[in-house]
Structure 1
Amino acid sequence: MLSGVFTLVLSLSCAGPARAEQTGLRAADPSVLRVGGTYIAVQSAGDGIVVRQAPSTARLGSAPARRVWSDPRGLGEVWAPEIVRDGGRHYIHFTAGRGAAHRMYVISSATPDSGYTAGTEPALPDDEWAIDGTLFTFNGQRWSGWAGDTDVEQNLYIARMSSPTTPAGTRYVVSQPREPWERVVGDPFVNEAPEAVKDPNGQLHIVYSANGSWSDRHCLADLRLRSGGDPTYVWDWYKSDGCLFGSHRATMTAGWDPTLHADGPGHHSFVLLDGDIGTSPPAGPRFPLMFHAVPKGTPYAWENRYGYTGTFCWWGGTTYSRADVPGPHTDTGWSLKFFE
């Protein structure tokens, strides 16, 4: 036992304005970071990728889009680009392909909206279908993918990286859609769109999307790595007891309320400085968030998704529980509250 080391875990009120705003970005899978006072957003656009820059998240929708990459090889659908800044360079990881041929690609540049390299395919372990790759400074990369070549179940995996473009070793599953509240919509059942963040105790969280993105049951949930845990060991991760951000009370964690204005919130961005989880916010205030959703009263369909601004904060003293698995069945620590 360590002596003289104490951790205070508590709930704090989340101060600050809470109103979310539907932006003019009629698109999915927002990825936004802050560099100084500039907010940089990346999104897929047909057969390519565009970057926008603005002095606030709310103004990204009206900012001009600069195309930074086009698909010269006819790879297919371009999905979910994610931008981070590492070692003074900007890296955009994205997926491209058709059907079971989707694979991850990466481009990089010294500037956020021009001069990117050609797309290269990281040699991901097992070379399986993969989407939603997310690079973070916990010395790993995460992506979502099927276990094989058929869409039975879509899981979350982690792999260590020796550089922002090079995996180093095998992949490890860290989450599968096995809880009843994340199996409301299937064919396949999905865990996808992982986004890393560190809580006020320095513990790693992966907030991800559950239930199909083609349904208003689409929602955000949380994986929390136990204190001192190994990110590659699945039983060191504890999953929230329901959705933390969603539209239907039946799938929400107890004490978390469903949305009022945005239907099926999903794939989000924490809008961190340089996209670095080392700059994750402290407890107390609310911090910028972007996510995609469909306006309430609008038919839920991919083509009706917009980017929304919102806020989030840390919520302490939250117990995640599980059964019939190795290790302790409960873990108490920080969770997250999301606001429209």
Structure 2
Amino acid sequence: MKLVRRLRGPVAALLSGALAALLLTLSSAGDARAGQTALRAADPSVLRVGGTYVSVQSTGGGIAVRQASSTDGLAAAPARQIWSDTRNLGEVWAPEVVRDGGRYHVYFSAGRGNAHRMYVISSANPDSGYTGETQLALPDGKWAIDGTLFTFNGQRWFVWSGWAGDTNVEQNLYIARMSSPTTPTGARYVISQPRESWERVVGNPFINEGPEAIKDPNGQLHVVYSANGSWSDQYCLADLRLRAGGDPAYVWDWYKSNGCLFGSNRATMMAGWDPTLHVNGPGHHSFVLLDGDIGTSPPAGPRFPLMFHAVPKGTLYSWANRYWYTGSFCWWGNTTYRRANVPGPTTDTGWSLKFFE
């Protein structure tokens, strides 16, 4: 790595990424449980506050927080219930923890059938003192899950997975401005629909979900999401990259990766990306960022912490067999995403991501 440190600019970044990929492949070879934690659960959401890692999960008819000094330590940390479904809202899915204005905000979906909507609770402390749930007044008021908040170029945004109408035809990714951590403002805008062949392998409905924002070394916005049905080992991660100077609310300013970037089936992987060795159906990830703030997104370099859920290879693929995994990712430069039959340029070249078990 001394050679890479002496270099500067894109060449150094690319060499760092390549060496990281090689080292991580060698270090994980032969380890059938690479990154697997003892937490049999789905949809990890993790951030770092100083030297403490904070996670939230849906459990016990509510939401629980764990705190530890490392991502590996979260599974053994005590789970402290911060919210219970006392109003019998229904299924509680995929809580997301965010810090904004010195407070913790946990967003989650609750409901039954087509009644799922997004809610938020808030506290000055990570594991106590949360407010009662407030339903987010998302534009159009349709079925919504997997929502999370981020700030980009001084504007708060909320991104989520939802339906265009009132029937379960497909799950799209939507974005809306927020005037505060609890108040959407203006319209919702679609930024991705599951229309590519590699994200329509398993459907009924076809799915884009689990969006997570991050900012690349050039300052461009990415939303990495899960595609294909979560009940299948075709579940995988893909990327949306906002063009330089683009408008997050304008769908044609977004460029989609040409395949899965983190998945277990070679046929759906983007060219140059390899399938997983030890897990099936990796998805619904969490970039483990300082304060959960994309303003602290890592620069180009060797690797950075990631959590995701997956099923160990050799195990029946089912929701009940999902575990939380610790992994890592690095930025991968000079990557071109291509598209056709849409407004605007057909290619966009910039940073992408590589993921490791």
Same fold by TM-score greater than 0.5: yes
Match of 1:160 in 2: 177
**Amino acid of the structure 2 residue aligned with 1:330:** T
Normalising to structure 2: TM-score of the pair? 0.92
* 1:55 aligned residue (52, 61, 69): 69
Name the SS of the counterpart of 1:299 in structure 2: coil
Query: How far 1:8 moved relative to its partner?
Result: 5.1
Give matches, 1:105-120, under 5 Å. Answer: 105-120=119-134
CA-to-partner distance for each residue in 1:230-274, whole Å, 9 max, x for gaps? 000000000000000000000000010000101100000000000
| Preserved CA contact (<8 Å) 1:12 1:316 | no
Correspondence 1:128 to 2:131: no
Instruction: Tell me which of 261, 265, 269 is aligned to 2:282.
Output: 265
Aligned equivalents of 1:38 and 1:24: distance in 2?
19
1:187 is aligned to 204
Question: What do residues 247-303 of structure 1 show as CA deviations (whole Å, max 9, x unaligned)?
Answer: 000000001000010110000000000000000000012000000000000000001
AA in 2 matched with 1:74: N
1:61 Cα offset (Å): 0.4
Asked whether 1:315 is paired with 2:332, we answer yes
> Paired residue for 2:14, among 11, 15, 21?
11
Output the CA distance in 2 between the equivalents of 1:136 and 1:211: 24
Matched to 1:13, the amino acid is S
Candidates 177, 186, 190, aligned match of 1:173: 190
Q: Distance in 1 between matches of 2:61 and 2:134?
A: 16
Is contact 1:155–1:192 with CA below 8 Å preserved after alignment? yes
| Structure 2 residue 83 is the aligned partner of structure 1 residue 69 | yes
Residue 112 of structure 2: aligned partner: 98
Going by fraction, where is helix more abundant, 1 or 2?
A: 2
Matched, 1:289 2:306: yes
**Per-residue CA distance 1:91-127 (angstroms, 9 max, x = gap):** 0000000010000000000000000000000111000
For 2:248, which of 222, 231, 236 is the aligned residue?
Answer: 231
Q: Contact between 1:159 and 1:172, CA under 8 Å: does it hold in 2?
A: yes
Kept in 1: contact 2:42–2:324 (CA 8 A): yes
The residue that corresponds to 1:251 in the other structure is 268
1:338 aligned residue? 355
d(CA) in 2 for partners of 1:167, 1:285: 37
Counterpart residue number, 1:21: 35
Larger CA deviation: 138-147 vs 199-208: 138-147
User: In structure 2, what residue type is equivalent to 1:22?
Assistant: Q
Aligned residue for 1:88?
Answer: 102
CA–CA distance in structure 2, aligned partners of residues 148 and 12 of structure 1: 46
SS at match of 2:75: helix
**2:225 match:** 208
Q: What's the counterpart of residue 93 of structure 2?
A: 79
SS across alignment from 2:343: coil
1:35 aligns with 2:13: no
> Structure 1 CA distance, aligned partners of 2:141 and 2:65?
28
Q: Deviations over 1:40-95 (max 9, x none)?
A: 00000031000000000001000000000000110000000000111110000000
The letter of the residue matching 2:63 is I
Distance in 2 (CA, whole Å) between partners of 1:70 and 1:107 is 11
Question: Aligned partners of 1:209, 1:110: CA distance in 2, in Å?
Answer: 31
Q: Deviation at 1:12?
A: 3.3
Assess if the C-alpha contact under 8 Å between 1:291 and 1:309 holds in 2. yes
Gaps of 5+ in 1: 1-6
Are the aligned partners of 1:12 and 1:284 in contact in 2 as well (CA < 8 Å)? no
CA distance in 2, matches of 1:234, 1:71: 36
3-state SS of the aligned residue for 2:214? strand
Give the aligned residue type for 2:210: A
TM norm structure 1: 0.96
